[in-house]
Structure formats: C-alpha cells, structure tokens
A and B are shown apart, each in its own frame.
Chain A
Amino acid sequence: MSTNPTTDNNNDNSNDKPLAKLLIVDDDSDIVQVLKMGLVKNKFSVDAFTNPNDALQSFKPNADSYFLVLSDIRMPGLTGIQLARKVKAINPNVKVVLMTAFEIRDEEFSKVFPSTNVDGFVQKPISIRELINKVLSLLD
C-alpha cells in the first residue's frame, strides 16, 4: 500500500454526512486496508497511512477536521506514542486510540512517557464492531 493518504467516505448512503473523520496509521498495509474498509462502510471518513511521518504531515494542515487518530504503537521511525504526543500538541481536542498486537505493559510506558495523554488502547486483532464501539464511545 502506498504511504500516500487514501481518503474515502463512499458508503452505501453517500449522501449522508460522515459520522466523523478518522486518521488511521499502521505500518502493516493489510491492517490499514481492512480497518479503513470497515470504518468507511460504517459511515466514517477515513484517511489511512502506512508511514506515521506522512500521516503527521497530512494531519498538520487539517488538524481541526479530525475527530480521532487510530495508530499502531510499534512503528519504525515514529512510534504511535510519539505520534500521539505530536498530534495532541497540534490539536489537544483530537482523540487518540493506540493499537498493539503486543501485550500492553503499563509499567514500560508509564516509566518513559508519563505525560502522554491517550484516549484508549485496543488490542489487535480487533473486530470492526469492537473498534466502532470504541470510536462511538468517544464520540458521545
């Protein structure tokens, strides 16, 4: 998958306004593709990236348009936690949910990033239904 953004909100009812605009980042292109398809189908507008630095560049000029950033944690070059800090610095209102396929060890993160404010963690693999519920819970 290209690291260029792929924006899509064409769903079954294309006249409907999207529920929210999301930015998805994962260095695994298959995961990005699956999540994007599932979210778009459920009326979210999605920009998807496999390169976190490209995602950040896209976020900067449009920071207010995003409701949530969904990012993998372990990515080379820029981790999800580092990305979370940067997007929150640009737009403190944006929600950030981090994903990981690894066991989340709070002690490792809290030691190193005590001030990083994220709005949730999800464990991969995650079903589209679970993910949508997570996003909707933050929309309320």
Chain B
Amino acid sequence: MLVKASSQEIAKMMTEEKEKNVLEPGNHILLIYDDSKKLREIYSQYSRALLPENEIVLIGTQYDTIENVKNALRLSSGGDNDDGDRIDIERYLNQGTLFIVDAQHRYHGNSDFRGMWKLAMSLLSRAKKEGRRGVTWFGDVGSFFGFEKIEEMIEYELSLPQKNEEEMMKVVCCYHSKDFENLSESQKQTLLDHHFKSILVE
C-alpha cells in the first residue's frame, strides 16, 4: 500500500488515533522523501506530539548532521501561530527518551549492519522496564547506497518483520527519493511489498 501525502499530512497521520494512523503500534513502514526539510518536518512534528506522551524517539540521520536535527527539533512548533510551544529537546535528551545518532556509523560500524537495530532493541527493553508508551525509530538507510551495499540492505530490511510482534516498537525506514531511484524495479517492489505501509512524501 503506497500512501502519498504532504509532510504535514504525514506527520498528522502518524499521530492520529486508530484506523487513520499510518504508524500503528508494531508497524514497520517505508517512507520516501525528496527533501530533507520535509523529513525534518515529519520527525519534528511526530516528536513534538509523542515525546510528551512518554514515547522514546530514535532518529538515525544520514544527510543532516546531528546538530541540524537538533536544531530542526528545537525550531519545530505546532504551526504558524504556535511558536511558543516548542520541543524542549535538552530535557528529552537528558532523560534519555530522545536519541539522535549518525545512521551511517550505526549501520556500518559493524560488519552485520545491525548497530541501529541493537540500539533500538536496547531502548525497547528500557521502555518496557520504565513503563513507557513505546519506541519509534526513524532510520535513514542512505548509507547503504553510498557504500554500495544494496543487496545487504534488502536482506537487512527483509529480516525486520512487516509487523513487529513487539507492539511497542514502530520502525520508519527513510529513503531519499534519489537513493530509492537507484534501485531496480524488482528491488523497489520487494521493499514496497515487505513494508506494512509505504509513504511517499509529496
């Protein structure tokens, strides 16, 4: 299923209640974006809504520096007339419910490409222990393209379930459209079929 919507609409759909929500508990979804600003909008609005609700948010960034991600979150507000209600990211970073990491280093720091997964799993254990709502993991997979590890990336993607048994875990695999276009048609289809939902940011 491919959903097409603007970044604002997608952010809203990710935080909606029940059937309208494209990121229900346990979902492993694919998100294709063509502009870093749109990706920032999505994870910022999501974090703004869910961090106060006791969610742990993990952002693995590829084309933005960690500092840029922090700034995007800091500057995020609820809308044009709502700039007084910003995310206190230092608070969430300090309490360990917001993690921003270099996805490339996490994916390629070890030979098994599972650095991000291991981090997410450790956060999941912590979330359970601390009675938190859950863990949402935004991971940009662009480094697999840069390192020419496409087969390995697909294998890795297929190793993640379409729907996690662990309902507390939500996974958003982020693809820049220029990277996604480098895949063959059958590779694209394999990935689209494997994810619970696929979203194209317009």
Contact = CB atoms under 8 A, between A and B. Distances in A.
A79 B143 CA distance: 9
B38 interface: no
Interface stretch (A13-21, A33-41, A89-97, A101-109): A101-109
Interface stretch (A4-12, A55-63, A69-77, A128-136): A69-77
A77 B105 contact: no
A74 B147 contact: no
Contact of A74 (B142, B149, B182): B142
Contacts, number: 44
A32 interface: no
A76 B146 CA distance: 8
B105 A108 contact: yes
A97 B182 CA distance: 25
Interface stretch (B18-26, B75-83, B158-166, B173-181): B173-181
B63 A75 contact: yes
B27 interface: no
B181 A77 contact: yes
Contacts of B182: 77
Contacts of A103: 102, 105
B182 to A, nearest CB: 7
Nearest to A77: B178
Bin chain A's interface residue count: 10 to 19
Bin chain B's interface residue count: 20 to 34
A53 to B, nearest CB: 8
Interface of B is mostly: mixed
B102 A102 contact: yes
B105 A74 contact: no
Contacts of B109: 108
B112 interface: no
A77 B179 contact: yes
A76 B104 contact: no
B7 interface: no
B1 to A, nearest CB: 24
A82 interface: yes
A22 interface: no
Given A76-B179, A77-B176, A77-B181, A27 B63 contact: yes
B105 A81 contact: no
Nearest to B142: A76
A47 B109 CA distance: 35
A4 B142 CA distance: 24
Nearest to A111: B108
Interface of A: 27, 73-79, 81-82, 101-103, 105, 108, 111-112
Interface of B: 62-63, 65, 102, 104-105, 108-109, 142, 145-149, 176-179, 181-182
Q: Give me the 8 closest cross-chain CB pairs, A-B, nearest first.
A: A77-B178, A76-B176, A76-B178, A79-B146, A112-B147, A101-B65, A76-B179, A108-B108
